Structure formats: C-alpha cells, structure tokens
C-alpha cells in the first residue's frame, strides 16, 4: 500500500478542523432543482468557502462551509447509480429511516412526520417540500456582515433557481445563532469544552499510527486505521471514494430545548435535594443541574470538582471515570458521562468509545415568561467519519443506557438531559448516589427537556469536490 500523506489543509473544509469563534452564524437550508442549478449555486459561493488553512491574525469577517445530503449529491454530482450506492446505508437512507430511528428514537413530539425540515420519508422518498439537499453554514464577525453574507447566499440561490427552506416562524425564519454569553447554551451551561484532539502527524509515517478514536482519521474520509469505517472506500467504486475523500459527515440536528420545563424540574426538586444535602435551595438547584450534565454550569467536571464549581477546572478535559464506580461524583446517566464514558468499563461490543466533533450554537431568545413556548434550542452539528458507528451509536446510548456493566442489573435508564422519554419501557427516574448515604436519591420522572425539530445527514465534501461540482 502506498504511504498516505497527511491531509492538505487547503483541501479540507475549515469547520472540520477547527471550532470557529465567530459570534454570528446562520445555517441556511436549500433544495436543488437540477444539476445545473446546483453547480451555478455552489460556484457562486466559492469566494467565501473557507478551508482548514490557518488564517493567522487575519480572521475572515465573512466565510462559509457547505454540506450536501445524499439527495443533494445525487442531483449535483456526476456519480453513477452504482457509485452512489457505495455510500453507507445510514447516509443514503437518512435520519428518518427505520435503521436510524432505531438509535434516534424520535417518537411523539419529535416524530420525523413533525420535523420542520429534512428526513421525512413518504414511500421511501424524502417529502419534496421538506427535502434538504444542501446546508450552507455561514459565519461572520458582525451582525451586518452576517446579513450581507446571507443576502448574498440567498440571491445566489434565487439566481440559480435553488429553493431556500425557511424552517422557523411558520416558514419565514432561518436557523440563526442567538447571542447568548460566549460559549453558553440554553439551560445556562458552557459548551464546546471537550472536543477530540484530531491529532495528525505533520510528517508520515509517525508512530503510533493514528489509532485513537479522537484522531483525525476517524473524521476525515479516506485515511487508514479508522476504528469506525467511514465510507465509501471500496476500490470498486473509485469515483465515489475520490468524491468523499477529505470530507466528513455532519449529523445536522436541530434540538428544541424546553427551558421552562428544565427550570421547573430544578425548582420542584430543589427542596428535597436541599434537605438531603443540608444545603440551601439555591445550591441544590445548581447541584442538580450539574448532576444532570456531569459538569457544573461553568464547565467544571463533577469528577474533579464534585462539591462546587471551580474556575480552575472549568476547562478541564483530562479526567477519568474509573475510580467513580458507584457514580458518587458523577451519576452514570449524566449527559457528558453518556456522551463520552471515557475509560469507564464498557461491554466489548461497544468499544472503543466513539468521539464526535461538536460545532453547535444556540438559536432562539431565552423565554420571557413561564408560558413562553417560543422556538429555542441548539443548532446541532455533530461531525464524524461514520454516522452509524459514531453519531448513532452514541445516540442509542443516550436513549438507552445499556453500554456499560455499571448500569447492571437495570439497563433501562436514559441520558438525564437528552433522551426521548416516550421510548417504551424506560425507567425515567433519575438516580443520584450520595456519598455516605444508605440509599441514593431517586428523583421522579425526568421530563422531556429536548425535542428533535429536524435532522439532515450531510457530507462536508472536500474543496476539490465542491469545485468539481461548481464546474458541472
Ligand atoms: C440540546 C441538546 C444538548 C445539550 C443541551 C447538550 C449539552 C452539553 C453540555 C453542557 C456539554 C458539556 C460541555 C463539554 O463537555 O464540551 C455537552 C457535552 C457533550 N455532549 Fe451534549 N448536549 C446536547 C446534545 C448532544 C447530542 C445530540 C449529543 C450526541 C449525539 C451530545 C454529545 C455530547 C458529547 C460527546 C459531549 C462531550 C462529553 C465529553 O467529552 O466529556 N450532546 N453537551
């Protein structure tokens, strides 16, 4: 086998390699009418397309990245049917398919039938009215710059005959980032702290040869030693392999957050927590918020700061669950412990722990009253090399905590923040072990804090692939 070269940063879309810190962003959804329209549209966007090259001190004021769904690739590319079929099933059938729904479990309020965009299947085909072919992730340093950029993108779409989907405000609103304090999401937590390192040697070969799930070859398609089989890489489909190389999948998932239900859960349970701990109800609320997430709202992990948030641990990512076998510091079902159980004992079939690159931002203003049911939540970008064995595997753990012997003998609990509580036969109580206490604290019924509003599986193709589409 020839020696693989490190990826060339000028060919990789920037969003994959780095979390942008631009304060303004908007995530625009499009439907193609034809191959020619897709080419014209993408060609128009190329001047703003951002690669993974270092921008030094000259941070771009306006820039964008582009994702294509399977339907988008089918229309925009020159791949044959056989070549298209080389893409992994999870990607070709999309998030509303039976296979994906086995993990995502979008019953009830979050049913794909009710999604605002994407994935809706009618007789096996995406509903044309909600079909998403492309997502343009646009970023800017100022609100004015973002407006200029989104106007430019929308005009380019109109000129090419590409239709924009406006999922919010009854078909009038875009998915635009809301300006909460830096790195904060609804529910008041800090986010974006723990991310994969994406190590990749500057020269090749370099031992050890990229076997860590946090390494770049588990995200970028086309490199050896991936633990999660990103595709397509079948030599019989060279055009599909070349199309996908240096790309990365993005599970784009818009998640409504019921801030009032979350605050109410904290307030309703604070008295019993306060009594159990012998602390104030204000402390009890913060403690409970930390137990649900695994980190205090400032970011401090419970494992390192079990009793109070500590500025010194707010950014900590290097910690272990091996000593906490009873969940006395961090409950087993806390969101971050489910999303990344790290070195916790896992069933062999669930190993190694997959990692995800998270590039999400909040949307919608915080509620102004207890009855305010306005749209707000997370515009979630979950990047991975393999949708099934990274994103969907973690999602299945979120909905059913059955991946570690630690949950024994009951494997029917759920992620405390996120899971779909409508999943049948689940134990929706929240168990919090308390040091020194004879029994854990068992809080009643976790509410549905988060509801899926739409999902689209995209490939963030390499820049040469996007240029080839632009050339038709
Ligand atoms: C609205 C929905 C969500 C909220 C409010 C939320 C909240 C959070 C917060 C506050 C953190 C801690 C910050 C950090 O470690 O960077 C976190 C981490 C994380 N979340 Fe979520 N999250 C959501 C959705 C998801 C989904 C859908 C997934 C997976 C499919 C996920 C996977 C993770 C992972 C893997 C981590 C990092 C854990 C670690 O490495 O220690 N999250 N999330």
Query: Could you tell me if 257 and 450 are in contact, meaning their C-beta atoms sit under 8 angstroms apart?
Result: yes
Q: Which residue has the higher pLDDT, 423 or 258?
A: 258
The mean per-residue pLDDT over the stretch 440-464 comes to: 97
**Shared domain check, 170 and 105:** yes
Confirm whether 368 is domain-assigned. no
For residue 71 the two structure tokens come to 């339907």
CB of 257 within 6 A of ligand 1: the answer is yes
316 and 445 housed in the same domain: yes
Is the residue at 143 inside a domain? yes
Q: Please tell me whether residues 132 and 269 are part of one structural domain.
A: no
Task: Work out how many domains the chain is built from and give that number.
Answer: 2
pLDDT digits (tens, 9 = 90+) for 213-236: 999 999 999 888 888 877 786 667
The rounded Å distance from CA 371 to ligand 1 centre is 26
Q: Cis peptide before 352, with omega less than 30 degrees from 0? A: yes
The pLDDT value given to residue 208: 60
Q: Encode pLDDT of 127-172 as tens digits.
A: 788 999 999 999 999 999 999 999 999 999 999 999 999 999 999 9
Give CA–CA dist 228/351, Å, rounded: 10
243 and 319 fall within a common domain:
no
> Is residue 111 included in any domain, yes or no?
yes
Do 334 and 413 fall into the same domain?
yes
Residue 67: which H helix or E strand, with range? strand 62-69
Is 384 inside a domain boundary? no
CA distance 4 to 164: 39
Query: Residue 301 domain-assigned?
Result: yes
Q: Find the mean pLDDT for residues 378-384.
A: 98
Q: From the CB of 394, is ligand 1 less than 6 Å away? A: yes
| Gap between the Cα atoms of 85 and 243, Å rounded | 13
Which atom of ligand 1 approaches the CA of 295 most closely?
12
Same domain, 266 and 239: no
The reply to whether 4 falls in a domain is: no
- Same domain flag for 409 and 460: no
Q: Is the CB of 188 under 6 A from ligand 1?
A: no
Domain ranges, residue 275: 258-352+390-451
Question: Can you give the pLDDT at residue 223?
Answer: 87
Q: Are residues 413 and 269 in the same domain?
A: yes
Confidence bin at 204 (pLDDT 50/70/90): low
Judgement on whether residues 266 and 222 belong to the same structural domain of the protein: no
Ligand 1: does its nearest atom lie under 6 Å from the Cβ of 218?
no
Same domain, 205 and 322: no
Residue 1 pLDDT = 46
pLDDT at 211: 79
Whether residues 265 and 280 share a domain: the answer is yes
Q: What is the pLDDT of residues 65-110, one digit of tens each?
A: 999 999 999 999 999 999 999 999 999 999 999 999 999 999 899 9
Same structural domain, 219 and 128: yes
């Amino acid at each position: 086998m020839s020696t693989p070269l490190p990826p060339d940063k000028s060919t990789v879309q920037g969003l994959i390699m780095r979390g942008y810190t631009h304060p303004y962003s908007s995530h625009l959804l499009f439907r193609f009418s034809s191959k020619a329209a897709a080419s014209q549209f993408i060609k128009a966007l190329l001047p703003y397309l951002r690669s993974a090259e270092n921008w030094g001190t000259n941070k771009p004021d306006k820039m964008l990245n582009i994702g294509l769904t399977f339907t988008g690739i089918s229309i925009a590319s020159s791949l044959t049917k056989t070549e298209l079929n080389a893409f992994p099933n999870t990607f070709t059938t999309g998030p509303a398919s039976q296979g994906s729904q086995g993990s995502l479990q979008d019953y009830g309020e979050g049913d794909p039938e009710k999604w605002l965009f994407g994935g809706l299947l009618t007789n096996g085909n995406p509903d044309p009215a909600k079909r998403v072919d492309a997502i343009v992730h646009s970023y800017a340093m100022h609100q004015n710059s973002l407006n200029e950029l989104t106007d430019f993108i929308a005009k380019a779409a109109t000129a090419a005959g590409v239709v924009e989907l406006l999922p919010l405000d009854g078909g009038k609103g875009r998915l635009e980032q809301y300006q909460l304090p830096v790195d904060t999401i609804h529910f008041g937590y800090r986010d974006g702290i723990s991310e994969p390192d994406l190590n990749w040697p500057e020269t090749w070969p370099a031992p050890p040869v990229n076997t860590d799930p946090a390494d770049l070859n588990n995200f970028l398609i086309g490199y050896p030693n991936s633990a999660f089989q990103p595709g397509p890489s079948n030599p019989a489909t060279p055009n599909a392999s070349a199309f996908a190389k240096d790309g990365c999948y993005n599970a784009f998932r818009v998640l409504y957050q019921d801030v009032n239900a979350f605050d109410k859960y904290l307030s309703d349970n604070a008295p019993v927590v306060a009594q159990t701990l012998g602390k104030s109800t204000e402390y009890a609320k913060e403690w409970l918020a930390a137990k649900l997430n695994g980190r205090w709202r400032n970011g401090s992990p419970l494992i390192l700061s079990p009793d109070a948030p500590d500025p010194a641990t707010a950014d900590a990512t290097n910690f272990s669950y091996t000593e906490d076998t009873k969940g006395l510091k961090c409950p087993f079902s806390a969101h971050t412990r489910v999303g990344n159980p790290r070195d916790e004992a896992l069933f062999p079939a669930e190993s190694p722990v997959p990692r995800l690159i998270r590039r999400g931002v909040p949307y919608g203003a915080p509620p102004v009253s207890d009855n305010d049911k306005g749209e707000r939540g997370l515009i979630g970008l979950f990047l991975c090399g393999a949708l099934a064995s990274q994103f969907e595997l973690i999602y299945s753990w979120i909905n059913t905590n059955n991946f570690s012997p630690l949950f024994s003998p009951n494997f029917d609990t759920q992620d405390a923040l996120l899971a779909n509580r409508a999943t049948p036969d689940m134990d929706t109580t929240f168990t919090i072990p308390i040091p020194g206490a004879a029994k854990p604290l068992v809080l009643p019924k976790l509410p549905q804090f988060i509801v899926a509003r739409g999902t689209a599986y995209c490939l963030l193709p390499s820049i040469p692939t996007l240029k080839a589409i632009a050339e038709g």
